[in-house]
Structure 1
Amino acid sequence: MIIWRGWGILVVLIAGLFAVPSGLTAESFLGPELAPLGVALGLAAAGIAVFFVGQRLNAPRPGFHPGTGQPVMYRNAHTLFFVPMQFWGFILLGVSVLVGVMTLIGA
């Protein structure tokens, strides 16, 4: 089961949109044994994209409290598995390094 809040599900979608095509491209050029290198590159690109999208979506916005009229900062909470979206960029980068190293060791 996937648990998300707000637009946190975009982490999964962005990772899939980057990793799958790059993995298929690497498979057609490098062969099936090195296809995970393409997936690793796609995950690295997805990590960068997720970081910037998460920074943009989770940025605090100034506003006013409707009852009192006092200024407040509204904070967004776009998370996946209770982890803020921008931090998933670092997680995806770590996974891409792990996949790349394991592919090169196994190859």
Structure 2
Amino acid sequence: MIIWSGLGFLIPVIAFGCLWLVLGVTDFALGADYKTGHDWLLGASLLLSGIVSWFLGRFLTARQGRVTIDKNTGEEVLVTPSNSLFFIKMQWWGPIFFFLGLVVIVLDLIPKG
């Protein structure tokens, strides 16, 4: 079960979109056979996903919320939407994706065998 609030559903969309973009550019520039055995492409797409998630999350968090008036107390309350996936805010998926991308790239650089 996927749990999100606000625009949190965009996080997997960003991840798959960045993967699609990196693999598409690689196919165009280096040929379709290049991506076989090159895991760093997944790492690069995760790095890109991290950057996009961080800046989009920061932008959405910085937007002005809606001011409402509490009927019981008469006080103004600022209501800001939360954009999260699995209770993690969108901007914090940026470092998660970035760290995973670095791990994938480093593991791909380690000689196998």
The normalised TM-score by structure 1 is: 0.81
Q: Does 1:79 align with 2:60?
A: no
What is the CA-CA distance between 1:82 and the residue it aligns to? 0.5
Structure 1 alignment gaps of length 5 or more: none
Q: Is the 8 A contact 1:50 1:89 kept in 2?
A: yes
Match for residue 91 of structure 1 among 91, 96, 102:
96
Return structure 1 stretches of 4+ with deviation > 6 angstroms.
Answer: none
1:21 matched residue in structure 2:
21
1:33 matched residue in structure 2:
37
Query: Which has the larger share of helix?
Result: 1
Percent identity over the alignment is 29
Residues 1:72 and 1:104: Cα distance change in structure 2 (over 3 Å): same
1:61 matched residue in structure 2:
65
Larger radius of gyration: 2
What is the CA-CA distance between 1:5 and the residue it aligns to? 1.2
2:3 matched residue in structure 1:
3
Structure 2 alignment gaps of length 5 or more: none
Q: How many positions carry a matched residue from both structures?
A: 106
State the superposition RMSD in angstroms: 2.3
Greater shift, 67-76 or 40-49, is seen at: 67-76
